């Protein structure tokens, strides 16, 4: 008998019909005007064949004990009982801590996990490891690695750029011109960490256009902006040159707002010397940018004049900073907006990530959300998050980061819960070698992802639909109850229960659980939160029965309006209190790859460089339209997009014809780092010489024992370079990679990505006999 139940994912709230322990169908949240197609991945996800059904240990780890090995990902697993798993894992954690210290555990566990304030995998793991004495952690994200370091130095914050961004309703009402680098799409704004109950992007853009507003979408892909727009498709990676050219026109035509630059910024003069070519002999003219970007110089001149004449918002998508020198695009975007002098005016100024995530343009909550307490980490050692392979491969080596020299720790145990490095990290052959260096890899997962298949100890987790929780996000007005739809599948357990059992073996149970079960925590977190609010909310049981709770928001925001109105009373948290067009601090670091003002640096992976001779196609490895990262890759929406079971790669008709390829072909995508198969889609919505292969197809090596094997399924991270944005931020650079594409004529290898590995029962296990 189907029963109806409401829940929340990062891509939206929904009601599900639940039948025989699984989601049978989903209905979007009643108030969501533009629900995400990603909801289509949910039916069948609870009992999917790729679920981890019980605890499992890699054969070699069980037989030979912990230690470095290149066999990870290529061996069978042995099914063990929960008791045995707990015993083995507790013993290994104790061994690593006693022998090498807590720093030897890499417990950062980057990843998106699932929505839920209590059963949030990383929060559970971090609290647990802190009670054991701590772990090596990571800073910032794959999303915003460059922004997270550069923007606090330029505008005193990175978080407020998103949390307190100009609201969509203000843009729809006041903006006349949106100049969007990277577009402003609805593909990505489906998603909000913690969940969304509204998706306003499409409607806001429609109302802006109805008012006569214009959208200029500067992006290699036409569909990066929803609805009608002027589509300008430059050579990928040349946006900073384009922004500099627009700035050049403003500077030489007397269109820059000198007063705003004087009162609200520092260092414009230093920057202008560079802009005009006085410091390096190269004026950043529209002609100069045209040669790099392929955009006509006249168009750039005309656009700059229009930007100065109209209420204009400069939007920079997050993708622009997920490349080598990624610090420059947001810095230059703010500088360009500062020259226009409209920062802090309704509908003018700067936006960073409209169309990247749903929180942009959504009103922030006036209150915090209920929180699972974390405690402090006694270990101070950290890495910038995307340096994980570097860390594992180079223990003891020094590296640059944000003005400091840091040293990589010597990691013995990698512990992951709620993330998938075989989704998120670059150069996967290198990651496999890096993981080969440690003694033990532990992974908590509901699904047999490639990361789970590369683990020594695999801990089966529940999905959010098998446990009670609630969730919301800081830029969404509703706290949503997530009652369990069904009991845990097979032998899966909540991460909380797993850690509670481990905590018991390791003598920290009382501190970890504080005597509460999951429902006890949900109530406690809610009551603690409610007690600190300055307004009344229903009791926990009233909220739970109602299923949702609307919270007050701060509406009508314009980013930095206070600062604009009075920069002395509302200074930015920068050394000068103003926007740092020139940063003395960054200049003082003396980095060759990030100077004291925004600048054009030749990209590492781009069509204008020497690498393009052998790799003539620019691959945009963007976020998938059909799923969140690698999550539910085996779901309906995701599978429907595949071509002969492979991830689709989009190519311009001209490029396909030149290679004798037709739509529906399986092609080989390759460079000097690796190769993968993909299914060809021919489409003129791309700039020629650009191909697009989104992230998220589960890594599927043709021969798992070969560390350099071709991925038969289409994961672009076998191709991407594992290199930081710059010495400043060392952020992720996975957005761009140069490749070649050819027909694949061999016999088609099967896709096994969504199949579990070989698991033998303990009774058939020779190590017990
Ligand atoms: N080339 C390239 N690479 C990229 C990017 C790019 O643009 N290009 N983008 C980057 C970006 S911005 C990001 S944010 C990362 C995303 O990388 P990740 O966040 O690591 O990717 P996800 O697929 O969301 O991984 C989350 C995992 O958590 C698991 N999970 C869900 N709920 C639970 C739970 O309750 N318990 C446990 N134990 N596990 C759970 C899911 O099954 C899934 O495997 O990828 C980055 N990688
Ligand atoms: N459906 C869906 N939505 C998501 C996610 C997902 O996995 N699926 N992930 C979420 C996460 S964690 C994050 S961090 C955000 C990321 O948000 P973004 O970083 O903005 O996402 P991308 O899809 O990588 O890039 C957006 C667009 O930028 C364009 N672009 C790429 N390179 C260039 C360039 O050099 N110049 C210009 N002008 N444009 C360029 C690409 O065509 C691309 O489609 O998305 C979030 N939203
Ligand atoms: Mo992200």
pLDDT tens for 722-761 read: 999 999 999 999 999 999 999 999 999 999 999 999 999 9
Cα atoms in the 13 Å half-sphere on the side-chain side of 212:
3
Beta bridge partners of 232: 218
Whether 735 lines ligand 2, by a CB cut-off of 6 Å, is yes
pLDDT of residue 765: 60
pLDDT tens by residue, 274-290: 999 999 999 999 999 99
Question: What percentage of the chain carries pLDDT values higher than 70?
Answer: 99
Residue 392 has pLDDT above 50, yes or no: yes
pLDDT of residue 764: 66
Whether 321 lines ligand 2, by a CB cut-off of 6 Å, is no
Q: How far apart are CA 228 and CA 259, in angstroms?
A: 35
Q: CA angle at residue 241 from 238 to 246, to 5 degrees? A: 130
Q: Which two tokens stand for residue 317?
A: 């998508």
Most informative mutation of 39, 143, 158, 182 for ligand 2 (most atoms within 8 A of CB): 182
Which residues have C-beta within 8 Å of that of residue 504, sequence separation ≥ 6? none
Q: Which two tokens stand for residue 182?
A: 């990277």
**Residue 504 burial (CB count, 10 A):** 15
521 is a catalytic site residue: no
Residue 766 has pLDDT above 60, yes or no: no
Nearest to 572 by CA among 46, 137, 278, 151: 151
Q: How far apart are CA 465 and CA 482, in angstroms?
A: 7
pLDDT of residue 768: 46
pLDDT tens by residue, 491-544: 999 999 999 999 999 999 999 999 999 999 999 999 999 999 999 999 999 999
Encode burial over 521-550: b for 16+ CB neighbours within 10 A, e otherwise.
bbebbbeebbeeeeeebeebeebbeebbbe
Cα atoms in the 13 Å half-sphere on the side-chain side of 576:
18
Q: What pTM was computed for the model?
A: 0.98
What is the whole-number distance in angstroms between the Cα of residue 313 and the centre of ligand 2? 19
Q: Whose CA is nearest to atom 36 of ligand 2?
A: 236
pLDDT tens by residue, 230-265: 999 999 999 999 999 999 999 999 999 999 999 999
Q: How far apart are CA 237 and CA 605, in angstroms?
A: 8
Do β-strands 759-760 and 3-9 pair in parallel, antiparallel, or remain unpaired? unpaired
Residue 769 has pLDDT above 50, yes or no: no
Q: Whose CA is nearest to atom 4 of ligand 2?
A: 188
Fill in the DSSP letter of residue 314: E
pLDDT tens by residue, 349-378: 999 999 999 999 999 999 999 999 999 999
Burial of 604 (0-12, 13-18, 19+ CB in 10 A): middle
Task: Report whether 576 contacts 596 (CB < 8 A).
Answer: no
591 is a catalytic site residue: no
Per-residue pLDDT, averaged over 29-55, amounts to: 97
**Residue 152 burial (CB count, 10 A):** 18
Q: Whose CA is nearest to atom 47 of ligand 1?
A: 424
Residue labelled with tokens 């993708």: 319
What is the whole-number distance in angstroms between the Cα of residue 653 and the centre of ligand 3? 31
pLDDT tens by residue, 97-149: 999 999 999 999 999 999 999 999 999 999 999 999 999 999 999 999 999 99
Helix (H, G, I), strand (E, B) or coil at 639: helix
Q: How far is CA 757 from the centre of its chain?
A: 27
Q: Which of 110, 168, 268, 274 is catalytic?
A: 110
| Domains with residue ranges and CATH for the chain | 3-41 (no CATH), 161-365+556-589 (3.40.228.10), 610-743 (2.40.40.20)
């Amino acid at each position: 008998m189907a029963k109806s139940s409401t829940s929340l994912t990062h891509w939206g709230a929904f009601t599900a019909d639940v039948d025989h322990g699984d989601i049978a169908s989903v209905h979007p949240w009643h108030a969501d005007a533009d629900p995400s197609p990603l909801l289509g991945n949910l039916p069948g996800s609870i009992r999917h064949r790729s679920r981890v059904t019980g605890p499992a240990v890699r054969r070699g780890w069980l037989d030979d004990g912990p230690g470095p090995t290149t066999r990870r990902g290529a061996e069978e697993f042995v099914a063990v009982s929960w008791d045995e798993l707990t015993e083995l894992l507790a013993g290994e954690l104790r061994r690593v801590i006693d022998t090498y210290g807590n720093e030897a555990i890499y417990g950062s566990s980057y990843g998106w996990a699932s929505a839920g304030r209590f059963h949030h995998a990383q929060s559970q793991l971090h609290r647990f490891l802190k009670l054991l004495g701590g772990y090596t952690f990571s800073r910032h994200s794959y999303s915003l690695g460059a922004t997270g370091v550069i923007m606090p130095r330029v505008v005193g914050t990175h978080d407020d750029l998103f949390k307190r961004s100009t609201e969509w309703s203000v843009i729809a009402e006041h903006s006349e011109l949106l100049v969007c680098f990277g577009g402003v799409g609805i593909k990505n704004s489906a998603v909000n960490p913690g969940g969304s109950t509204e998706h306003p992007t499409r409607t806001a853009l429609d109302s802006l256009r109805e008012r006569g507003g214009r959208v200029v979408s500067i992006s290699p892909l036409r569909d990066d902006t929803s609805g009608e727009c002027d589509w300008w498709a430059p050579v990928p990676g040349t946006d900073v040159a384009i922004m500099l050219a627009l700035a050049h026109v403003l500077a030489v035509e007397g269109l820059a707002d000198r007063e705003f630059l004087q009162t609200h910024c520092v260092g414009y003069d230093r920057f202008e010397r560079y802009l005009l070519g006085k410091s390096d002999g190269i004026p950043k003219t529209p002609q100069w940018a045209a040669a790099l970007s392929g955009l006509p110089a006249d168009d750039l001149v005309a656009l700059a004049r229009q930007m100065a004449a109209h209420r204009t918002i400069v939007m920079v998508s997050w993708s622009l900073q997920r490349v080598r020198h990624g610090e420059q695009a947001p810095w230059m975007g703010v500088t360009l907006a500062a020259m226009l002098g409209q920062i802090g005016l309704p509908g003018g100024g700067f936006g960073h990530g409209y169309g990247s995530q749903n929180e942009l343009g959504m009103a922030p909550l006036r209150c915090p959300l209920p929180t699972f307490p974390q405690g402090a980490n006694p270990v101070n050692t950290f890495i910038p998050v995307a340096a994980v392979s570097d860390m594992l491969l180079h223990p003891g080596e020094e590296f640059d980061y944000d003005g400091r020299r840091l040293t990589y720790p010597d990691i013995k145990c990698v512990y992951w819960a709620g993330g998938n490095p075989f989704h998120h990290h670059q150069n996967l052959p290198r990651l496999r070698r890096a993981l080969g260096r440690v003694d033990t890899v532990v992974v908590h997962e509901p699904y047999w992802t490639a990361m789970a298949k590369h683990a020594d100890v695999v801990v089966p987790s529940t999905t959010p639909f098998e446990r009670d929780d609630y969730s919301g996000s800081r830029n969404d007005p509703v706290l949503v109850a997530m009652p369990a739809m069904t009991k845990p599948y097979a032998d899966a357990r909540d991460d909380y229960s797993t850690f509670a059992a481990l905590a018991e073996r390791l003598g920290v149970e009382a501190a970890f659980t504080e005597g509460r079960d999951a429902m006890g925590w949900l109530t406690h977190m809610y009551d603690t939160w409610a007690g600190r609010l300055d307004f009344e909310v229903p009791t926990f049981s009233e909220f739970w029965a109602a299923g949702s709770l609307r919270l007050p928001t701060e509406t009508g925001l314009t980013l930095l309006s206070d600062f604009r109105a009075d920069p002395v009373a509302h200074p930015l948290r920068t050394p000068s209190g103003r926007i740092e067009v020139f940063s003395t601090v960054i200049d003082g670091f003396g980095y060759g790859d990030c100077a004291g003002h925004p600048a054009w640096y030749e990209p590492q992976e781009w069509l204008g460089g020497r690498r393009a001779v052998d790799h003539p196609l620019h691959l945009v490895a963007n976020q998938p339209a059909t799923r969140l990262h690698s999550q539910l890759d085996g779901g309906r929406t995701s599978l429907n997009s595949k071509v002969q079971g492979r991830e689709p790669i989009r190519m311009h008709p001209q490029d396909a014809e030149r290679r004798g390829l037709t739509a529906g072909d399986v092609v080989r995508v390759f460079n000097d780092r690796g190769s993968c198969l993909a299914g060809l889609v021919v489409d003129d919505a791309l700039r020629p010489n650009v191909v697009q292969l989104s992230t998220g197809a589960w890594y599927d090596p043709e021969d798992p024992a070969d560390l350099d094997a071709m991925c038969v399924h289409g994961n672009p991270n076998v191709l991407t370079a594992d290199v930081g944005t710059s010495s400043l931020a060392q952020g992720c650079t996975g957005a761009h990679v140069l490749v070649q594409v050819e027909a694949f004529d061999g016999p088609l290898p099967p896709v096994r990505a969504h199949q579990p590995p070989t698991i033998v029962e303990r009774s058939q296990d020779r190590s017990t006999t």
